Structure 1
């Protein structure tokens, strides 16, 4: 069956994303050209501009896709896991998903350094992570979160910590232990410190892994 134009367009866009992503990781932002991307994708040069305004927009899409995958994993955990478990599991999944993508973080920093008007990319990426964390905290029906006024600041700080660890690859401990420390900070900040029962349950989860 012949492919529709929409299917062909999406296939071309995906080919450009894959080619651009691999090239940008290999040689960096400054040394990657649109011509190189289209050549690797085996597409005509002009097709690039049917899907992306410029290289920076392609980088933005790559970052968005990484963020959405991490958000999707965390949303599922928030939906199914109880109370403190959900925080720890969500943070652990978050670190596990974004830490291997250090090349993308380096790429983002290169873009911001080279293009003065690219700084909002960094702020926007952080918001992509903060927003679902904040929504999940406010929406949970089990009263895990108090109505404290620092919830938004907490979501931003926890995200900043995780993104720093992911960008630098410099975790203070294993991903499991780092996520546990962040969970303790989280729970203390919202006025619901982790109980002995919570710790025992997390210890059992550590042992199961």
Structure 2
């Protein structure tokens, strides 16, 4: 019986997330109410507050869910892929995953604009993306960057570039090509320029895809 109740609770939570996510994307944060979310989810109004504190809490969960899968995949790439190829593959995956979710980034900007105390949401989401990059660099420092490099700054720079493209919808080329350019910039910045052979190998990788 307890397990059945947990399953029902999770089903309700997922229904609220799906309904809330679709409504917020359709009409925006200011024009979406809790009543509309529960009505679309076919749930009682009070059930919303069993799972979320308010609309902003629901938005936070949507953003966390978006970041979770990308983080998991990024960790796998950093762990298994050799040298600078990990940078390119990680960036390509990051750009490919987050760019289609531009509506969520725009939603986040609306929340921050409407509620002054919501700014930490942006910083928290940023950290969710920085953390796996920083961990990968820290674990493989000798292969990827000189010992003297500021890894935290490097991870922040890479993440900032990707988030800017996602937020503005201004990806200058395909995720493959954009990630290649970002990888070249990265390696030059840390004093390990990519050779022509390295570039040829990377091009072969994304042309093979």
Secondary structure at the aligned position of 2:21 is classed as: helix
Residues 147-168 of structure 1, C-alpha deviation per residue, up to 9 Å, x if partnerless? Answer: 2242211111111110010111
Secondary structure at the aligned position of 2:109 is classed as: helix
Aligned to 2:71: 71
Distance 1:152 1:2, change over 3 A: closer
Corresponding residue pairs, total: 209
- How far is the alpha carbon of 1:197 from its aligned partner? 2.3
- How far is the alpha carbon of 1:50 from its aligned partner? 0.5
**Is the Cα–Cα contact under 8 Å of residues 148 and 190 in structure 1 kept in the other structure?**
no
What TM-score comes out, normalization by structure 2 length?
0.95
Aligned to 1:41: 41
Secondary structure at the aligned position of 1:143 is classed as: helix
**Is the Cα–Cα contact under 8 Å of residues 141 and 147 in structure 2 kept in the other structure?**
no
Residues 47-73 of structure 1, C-alpha deviation per residue, up to 9 Å, x if partnerless? Answer: 000000000000000000101111112
**Moved runs in structure 1, 4+ residues, more than 3 A?**
none
Distance in 2 between the 1:145 and 1:178 partners? 21
- Pair 1:139 & 2:139 matched: yes
* RMSD between aligned residues: 1.5
Aligned to 2:197: 197
Distance in 2 between the 1:20 and 1:103 partners? 13
Residues 129-158 of structure 1, C-alpha deviation per residue, up to 9 Å, x if partnerless? Answer: 111100111112762222224221111111
Aligned pairs for 1:1-209 (under 5 A) are 4-140=4-140, 143-209=143-209
